[in-house]
Structure 1
Amino acid sequence: MNSKSRVTLASGSSIRAAILSGAEVPFDVVKPDVDEDEIKHQAKSDGIDLEKTAMLLAEAKCMAVATTTPGIVIGSDQIMEFEGRAYDKPKTMAEAKDRLLETQGAAHTLINAIAVARDGEIIWRNLDRPTLHMRSLSEEEIDQYLEEAGPEILYSVGAYQIEKLGSRLFDRIDGDHYAVLGLSLFPLLALLRRENILAY
């Protein structure tokens, strides 16, 4: 692969890498060195809304790698919004339980932002907002789910992995399934075709 057709995923996310691999997109992975908490804190202080904050994070991840990496670099971020508030990944299983107790029986949104750079300059942005409708769940059901799913769910901002056991927690999803997982695949594939990275 020459430098012009090189694709780099600026992310340490295994699910984002799995999405690209599943579509058989050739790519490398470079984990970006970005202080996400600082960006979120500054955005909140500046009164920046959650969609713009998600895009700022995606851009920061993208450019942290793109400044030293030729070709196409993909940065992405996801923010959970519930009743107008943003949520970070739960740090403990107790916090995960509280998250599920709070959101059960209601809908929440996952804001998925993607920024793509070519040779150090951002050329494309995409924003998706799938809505997830969670079933009404008893505390006993949530406890059983957490026991069976295990601490792996702490990698998910909503305390679930929709591609695994977490699918049982929902009635339906409105929007792009891949955006729920963390990377809006179809618009990204369209871009890679336009950039002559993919033949079809």
Structure 2
Amino acid sequence: MIFASNSSPKLILASASPRRQQLISLLGLPVDILPSQVDEDTPDDWSPAQIVEGLSLRKALAVKEKLTNPSDESSIIVGSDTIVVLKGDVMGKPRDEEDAIRMLSLLSGETHEVYTGVTCVRVSDSKMITSHRVTKVKMRKCSEQQISRYVATGEPMDKAGAYGIQEIGSLLVESIEGCYFNVVGLPVSLLAVQLEQFDIVVP
């Protein structure tokens, strides 16, 4: 069993998200960043859990295919994907400002679910573990003007459901039930449990 230290196996985060990069650093393990840049289309009949688990796995495996350095053999690739689900409808990132306003208007005053899937893949033997976590989020009832002002900040444009709970978007949230970091985009406690299955213990 390996305890987190400077000699621990390196993690490779398959994401360009600065939020995920910040969260994964909490584990105290060495981390490289290598965005996956995969196609994120999924079959129409996939459940929310299938979507986030499937895409997190797709991202991790895409990065594995890119690796050519022998020093990466002991590394563990971490893929993650987040979606917002309102009354069974899946919301990813908004296409434009109009789409962001539409999403936030639907979420206003409602309770939705945030799903985040996490996959770990060890480069040396392709051992992989995939799972997900769900958090319920209740949004404040917001006016059209409030929503428009928030969208004008630009913050919603790269976020599932068009809001960031860790930034200005926190002003739109009334309450949450479950893991806060799951809503940000990487449930670090779930990731820590997965790493234990690779004999890595954090902290």
Post-superposition CA distance 1:107-166 (Å, at most 9, x none): 11111000101125243222111111001111122223333xx11320111111110111
TM-superposed CA distance for 1:23, in Å, is 3.9
User: Is contact 2:83–2:161 with CA below 8 Å preserved after alignment?
Assistant: no
Deviation (angstroms), 1:22: 3.6
Query: Shift of the alpha carbon at 1:194?
Result: 5.2
Q: Is residue 136 from structure 1 mapped to residue 136 from structure 2 by the alignment?
A: no
1:11 match: secondary structure: coil
Separation in structure 2 between the aligned mates of residue 162 and residue 123 of structure 1, nearest angstrom: 30
Runs of 4+ residues over 6 Å off in structure 1: none
Tell me if 1:126 matches 2:131.
yes
1:100, 1:114 → 2: CA distance? 25
Q: Any conservation in 2 of the 1:115–1:122 contact (CA below 8 Å)?
A: no
Question: Which residue in the other structure is 2:3 paired with?
Answer: none
The correspondence for 1:169, drawn from 162, 172, 177, is 172
1:49 is aligned to 2:47: yes
Name the CA distance, whole Å, in 1 between partners of 2:138 and 2:23.
23
Match of 1:157 among 160, 182, 185: 160
- In the alignment, the residues of structure 2 paired with residue 49 and residue 117 of structure 1 have an alpha-carbon distance, to the nearest angstrom, of 23
Q: 1:184 to 1:161 in 2, by over 3 A?
A: same
Query: Higher RCO, 1 or 2 (CA under 8 Å, sep at least 6)?
Result: 2
Which one of the candidate residues 159, 183, 186 is aligned to 2:186? 183
Residue aligning to 1:97: 101
Q: In the alignment, is the contact (CA less than 8 A) between 1:25 and 1:198 conserved in 2?
A: no
What SS does the corresponding residue of 1:121 show, helix, strand or coil? Answer: coil
TM score, norm. by length of structure 2: 0.85
Q: Which runs of 5+ in 2 are unaligned?
A: 1-5
Q: Could you tell me whether the CA contact under 8 Å between 2:104 and 2:147 is conserved in 1?
A: yes
| 1:146 alignment partner, one of 151, 169, 172 | 151
Find the aligned partners of 2:87 and 2:26 in 1 and give their Cα distance.
Answer: 33
Q: What's the counterpart of residue 59 of structure 2?
A: 61
* TM-score in terms of structure 1 length: 0.86
Shift of 1:25: 2.7
CA RMSD of aligned residues (A): 2.0
Q: Deviations over 1:10-54 (max 9, x none)?
A: 1111110011124433200111131112xx1xx21xx22221121
Q: Confirm or deny: 8 A CA contact 2:135 2:183 kept in the other structure.
A: yes
After superposition, give the CA deviation of every residue in 1:46-91 in whole Å (9 maximum; x if it has no partner).
x222211211111010111124352211001112111111112112
Offset at residue 199 of structure 1 (A): 5.6
For 1:169 and 1:103, the matched residues in 2 are separated by 10
